[in-house]
Amino acid sequence: MLPDVARAWEHLQRVAQDLFARYGYEPVYTPLFEHTEVFTRGIGEATDIVSKEMYTFEDKAGRSITLRPEGTASVVRAALEHNLTANGAQAKLYYSGPMFRYERPQKGRMRQFWQIGIEVLGAAEPTADAEVITVLWRYFEALGIPAENMRLLLNSMGDEACRPAYRDGIAAFIRSHGSELCEECNRRADTNPLRAFDCKNPACRAVMATAPLLREELCGDCAAHYTAVKAHLDALGIPYEEDSSLVRGLDYYTRTVFEIQVEAGLGSQNAIGGGGRYDRLMEAYDGPPTPGLGFALGFERTLLAMQAAGVEIPAPPRAEVFVARVDDSVTAEVFALAQRLRDAGIAAELDHQARSLKSQFKQADRLGARFVVVLGPDELAAGEVTLRDMSSKEEKRVALDAAPAAVAAALG
C-alpha cells in the first residue's frame, strides 16, 4: 500500500475509532495466525472458508497453524482464554487488520484483505443487535457513502430449537429438486444445505426462491427476538430489507444476520460489510454459553464504494510551510528554524538535496505549503526572515526569533 492508499486506510481507521468509541467499544489485537482448530471449530468444517480458503501450514514443531481468515473466532477464543465475560460481564471490542483467504482474486476480492470489526460478548438483548447494525450503517454514512447507494439486508437464521428441522427440510427440498440444481448444491444437501440459498447460479437461485422460508418457521423465542430487532431499527429510522436468502458464509450464526451491499460495479463482491449473532460460538471452544454478535467490513470494498460515490478522501498538505535557504552559508540556521516551527506544532519542510532557491519554491508548491520562509545572508544579518504567501505572492519581513509565532498567526 503506497501513500495514496495508505492515507485512505488511515482515514477509514480514524473514522471507525471515533465512531466506535462513542458506543463504548475498546480495541483488541489478535495474532495474525492461530492454531488451525480455532478456525475449524468456530467457523465450521463445511464452510467454504474452512474447506477451501484457509492458508494452513505446519510450523517447525509440526503444529498446524492458519493465517486468520476473519477476526470473530480469534476474539471469542481470546475472550474465553482471558475470562473477559466471566460472571456475566459484557465485553465490547473492536479490531482491524489484514485477513487471509485463498479465494480467486478479482475486483474487491483479495487473498490478503483488510477488515475492521466489532464484537459484543455477553449481550443477549435485541437492542444489542440493533446497536451493532446501526454502528455499521452509521460508519458507512460517516465515510460519505450516500444511504441510497446502500442496501441493508436482514434475516434470522433461527437457533438450535428451530434450525435443525428447517435444515432437514431444505436438504429434502434440494434432493427433490436435484436435477434442476448444480452439482455443488446437490452436495450441499449433505454438508450445509442452507448454503444453497447463496449459490450464484441463476437456475439454482430460481429454484431456491421457491423453498420454504426459515423466517416463517422460527420458534417463538427467535420470532420474538427478530420482531424486536426490527422494531428497534424502525425506531431509529435505519432502513433495512428483509432477505430470506441471506445465510452468510460462516456456520457460527444464530438468529440475526445482516449485510450491507452496494452497487459499485463490484459484481458478486458487493457486500461491504456484514455480521450477525453467534450465541453458541463460545461453547465451540468448550466455554460457557455466552451470547455474542458483531460485524466486519472490508476496507478494499468500502474504498471502491466511496470512489463510486465520488467521495474525496481528505489529504492534508505534506507541509504547511517550507523553509528555503538562499545559500549554504545559512544551512544551520534554516535547519534550526525548521525544527522550531515543527516544535511549535507546524508542519514544516526544508530541502535536503541542495536544490537551487527556484527549485525549493517548486518543491514547496508540490508539497502544498501555504507559506515559504526564506532565509539568506541578508536576512540573517538583519535578524529577520522573509515570509512569502504562496497564493497572494505577498512578502513581508519578520524577526527570526518571532518567526514561529508569525507563521502560526499567518496560518490562522
Kindly tell me which of 94 and 371 has the beta carbon lying closer to ligand HAM: 94
**Can you name the residues that pair with 388 across neighbouring β-strands?**
372, 395
Rounded least distance, CB 49 to ligand HAM, Å = 7
Rounded least distance, CB 331 to ligand HAM, Å = 49
Kindly tell me which of 6 and 354 has the beta carbon lying closer to ligand HAM: 6
d(CA 129, CA 120) in angstroms, rounded, equals 9
Contact residues for ligand HAM, defined by CB under 6 A: 70-72, 101, 103, 108-110, 113, 115, 117, 119, 249-250, 271-276, 294-298, 300-301
Rounded least distance, CB 290 to ligand HAM, Å = 14
User: 8 with 313: CB under 8 angstroms?
Assistant: yes
Strand order, beta sheet including 384-389: 348-350, 321-325, 371-375, 384-389, 395-399
Give 241's contacts (C-beta < 8 A, 6+ positions apart).
Answer: 151, 152, 153, 154
Kindly tell me which of 55 and 113 has the beta carbon lying closer to ligand HAM: 113
Pairing of strands 292-298, 271-277: antiparallel
Residue at shortest CB range from ligand HAM: 298
Kindly tell me which of 296 and 373 has the beta carbon lying closer to ligand HAM: 296
Kindly tell me which of 271 and 334 has the beta carbon lying closer to ligand HAM: 271
d(CA 20, CA 136) in angstroms, rounded, equals 10
Give 340's contacts (C-beta < 8 A, 6+ positions apart).
Answer: 403, 404
Sort 388 into a burial class: Cβ within 10 Å, 0-12 / 13-18 / 19+. Answer: buried
Rounded least distance, CB 250 to ligand HAM, Å = 6
Number of H helices, E strands in the chain: 15, 16
Kindly tell me which of 118 and 369 has the beta carbon lying closer to ligand HAM: 118
Dmax over Cα atoms in the chain, in whole Å?
95
Rounded least distance, CB 232 to ligand HAM, Å = 18
Rounded least distance, CB 233 to ligand HAM, Å = 17
- Any idea which residue has 434440494 for its cell? 174
Kindly tell me which of 93 and 330 has the beta carbon lying closer to ligand HAM: 93
Rounded least distance, CB 269 to ligand HAM, Å = 7
Sort 87 into a burial class: Cβ within 10 Å, 0-12 / 13-18 / 19+. Answer: exposed
Give me the count of residues in the chain.
Answer: 412
